[in-house]
Structures are given as C-alpha cells and as structure tokens.
Amino acid sequence: MKKLMGMLAMAGAVALVLTGCAAGDAGSASGGGADGSPIKVGFSQVGAESGWRSANTASLKDALSDANGFKMTFSDAQQKQENQIAAIRSFITQGVGAIVFAPVVETGWDDVLKEAKDANIPVILQDRAVDSDPSLYTTRVGDDFEKEGETAGKYVADTFNGKKANLVVLEGTTGSSAANDRTTGFNKAIAGTDINVLDSLTGNFTRAEGKTVMEGFLQKYGKTINVLFAQNDDMGLGALDAIKAAGLTPGKDIQIVTIDATKDGLTALSTGEFNYVVECNPLLGDKVADVVKKVVAGESVDKLYVADDQAFDQAQATVALPTRKY
Ligand code: GYE
C-alpha cells in the first residue's frame, strides 16, 4: 500500500510538471483525491423522467457531497445521448478524477469511453448498462432489470394460470438496457402460457406518455384488455387516468403490474389500483461513492455491483409504505 501511495504521489508530481498534458490520472493532483483533497467527479444523469430518477439523483448528490470528500459536477442529459456524450467530453477536458454516468441507451458509447480511457479517467456506470467492451469502463452499480421483468412476468403467468388473457405493455425508453432487459425477462416468464400480447409500445418512462399510449390502447382494444405491464411506476400511474376516463376500474377490470416501487407506486398498489409492483432500488449513491474512492485510491473493485430488489403485493405495500424511503 505504501509503495502504491508513493507511486500515486509520483504520478501526481509528474502530472504537475506536465501541466496541460493528459489530465485526470486517477489519484492525480488535477482529479483530486491525493492527500485528502476532494475528488473531482463528473456525473452525467439521464434526466428527470420519473420518480425513480429523482430518488436516484438525490441519492447520488447526497453521497458525492462536499462533506464526503467530493467536488461533483452534475449534468442532466434530458434523455438525450448526444448531451451525455458532450458532458463526458467536457468532464475529460476538465480533468476530473472519475466519471459517473447513467447511460440513457445501451449502444453507441465506444468512442467516448475510449477517450476517457485514453485520458486515464475511470468511468463508473450507475443504473443502466452499455453494450461496450467491459475493458472500456471500470465497473457498474445497478439493478438486475432482467430479473425484475421476469418477476413481473411470473406474477402475470401465475395470476392467469392456464386462463387466456390479453396483455398490453408500456415499454421504457427505446434502446435503454432497463427496457431491453425487462422485456426479455418478462417474455421469458410468460412464454408457453395463454397470455396474448395485444400490443407493446414505448411510453418513455414518463407519466404523460404512459397516459397517451394507454389511451391509444384503450381506443384500439377497449374492454378486451385484461392486464397491463408498465415497465415503470410512472407510466402505470399515467395509464390510471386513461383507464378511469374510459370508465374502467384499474386493478379490477384491468390488472396492472409495474416496476420501481416508489412511494407513489406503492400507494396505488395499497389502494388497489395496481396489483403487483416489482422493486428497483434507486438508492445507489453510497455504493457509487465507495467505489469511486477505491478506484481513485488505486484499489481494485468488482466489475458489477447489483442492488437487492424485492416485490410487493397489495397487503405488503400497505405494510411497507410508512417507512418507504423513496
Ligand atoms: O425504472 C425508470 C427510470 O433506469 C432503472 O429509469 C432505471 C429506470 C427506472 O426512468 O423509472
């Protein structure tokens, strides 16, 4: 360890001598972290599309705070990949000690990740995944989306056990690993059952689009819809308005299964408007902060940290709500 610290100090000294050259060497003077100086972190967030996202942003801001030894720059990509690429390039130019980044979509990151690697800046993915070669990033802290989809699908398969049922799906943001993997897991669980997928469209993880797309489903399929799988709480909550406006009772005429388990989602579950909610933990900040500190100190970390998720039925939601943190 002493030797490593010595090496890092040397790297810092070299970086100081060569000011203007490739900045951001992990643990270097420019990226912070040496001698107890704050670690400069650039955080590129997806946007503010959902309750889950707000809780995730708050968790990261809390954990990467000045008081915890960080100088964090926050950038909101407003759900656009080009904004994230620009933010990451600007973090590289600033010579941050680490980049934390929630990739809006799964593909198209190779070039910018190579640029960060060439500048010796570690990249920590939080939340969603990328399809790039794992050598291009340090680690990912997130949830198991395929398992979440599978848990939701199992509920539907078990509920309609052997009976025919017509299903509609509100998918998350097209091309996001959260949507891709939830679809894969869900389809696995309902394969070979009598669940008939009438339609599946994106609602972009927002309430507004969840409502509009559900209105379209109701116009097209009306009362033949038995069950809705919304890939997050917000789209399910938007769909509630559309279902009520169509004169149907959510939770009874149309069963609703969602993912996230935010307070708003669990409230709809507890009052009987949703039927089942699978958890996706957004409180990833402490783990991310811990990993950033280790990486900047030159310690090794795992390639993947997966959060623990559970699932709730209506009675379990009522029990969980009073102490729910997000
Ligand atoms: O489920 C949704 C959010 O990537 C896991 O993104 C996240 C998803 C989450 O907008 O509410």
183 lines ligand 1 (CB under 6 A): no
User: How far apart are the C-alpha atoms of 215 and 8, rounded to whole Å?
Assistant: 59
Ligand 1 atom with the smallest distance to the CA of 51 is 11
128 lines ligand 1 (CB under 6 A): yes
Reply yes or no on whether the pLDDT at 184 is more than 90: yes
**262 is written with which tokens?**
């935010």
What CATH code would you report for 6-143+282-309? 3.40.50.2300
309 lines ligand 1 (CB under 6 A): no
**257 is written with which tokens?**
């299964």
Identify which of 54, 232, 237, 258 to mutate to test ligand 1's pocket (most ligand atoms within 8 A of the CB): 232
The domain segmentation of the chain, as residue ranges, is 6-143+282-309, 145-279
What architecture is the 145-279 domain classified under in CATH?
Answer: 3-Layer(aba) Sandwich (3.40)
Beta-carbon count within 10 A of 10 CB: 10
The 10s digit of each residue's pLDDT in 58-74 is: 999 999 999 999 999 99
52 lines ligand 1 (CB under 6 A): yes
* C-alpha 25: how far from chain center: 28
Q: Is 6-143+282-309's fold the same as 145-279's?
A: yes
**308 is written with which tokens?**
């623990």
Ligand 1 atom with the smallest distance to the CA of 231 is 1
User: How far apart are the C-alpha atoms of 181 and 46, rounded to whole Å?
Assistant: 17
Residue 203, SS3 per DSSP: coil
279 lines ligand 1 (CB under 6 A): no
Q: Residue 188 is which amino acid?
A: K
Distance from the alpha carbon of residue 177 to the mean position of ligand 1, in angstroms? 10
The 10s digit of each residue's pLDDT in 224-235 is: 999 999 999 999
The 10s digit of each residue's pLDDT in 199-248 is: 999 999 999 999 999 999 999 999 999 999 999 999 999 999 999 999 99
pLDDT number for residue 255:
98
Crossing angle of helices 81-94 and 110-118, in 10° steps, is 10
Reply yes or no on whether the pLDDT at 11 is more than 70: no
53 lines ligand 1 (CB under 6 A): yes
Residue 302, SS3 per DSSP: coil
pLDDT number for residue 326:
97
pLDDT number for residue 34:
81
CA dihedral 300, 4, 99, 175 (to 10 degrees): -30
pTM: 0.91
User: How far apart are the C-alpha atoms of 92 and 120, rounded to whole Å?
Assistant: 9
pLDDT number for residue 16:
32
User: How far apart are the C-alpha atoms of 66 and 39, rounded to whole Å?
Assistant: 9
205 lines ligand 1 (CB under 6 A): yes
Ligand 1 atom with the smallest distance to the CA of 233 is 11
Which ranges of the chain would DSSP assign to H, the alpha helix?
2-17, 51-63, 81-94, 110-118, 145-159, 177-190, 207-221, 233-245, 263-270, 285-296, 314-320
Taking residues 192-202, report their average pLDDT.
Answer: 98
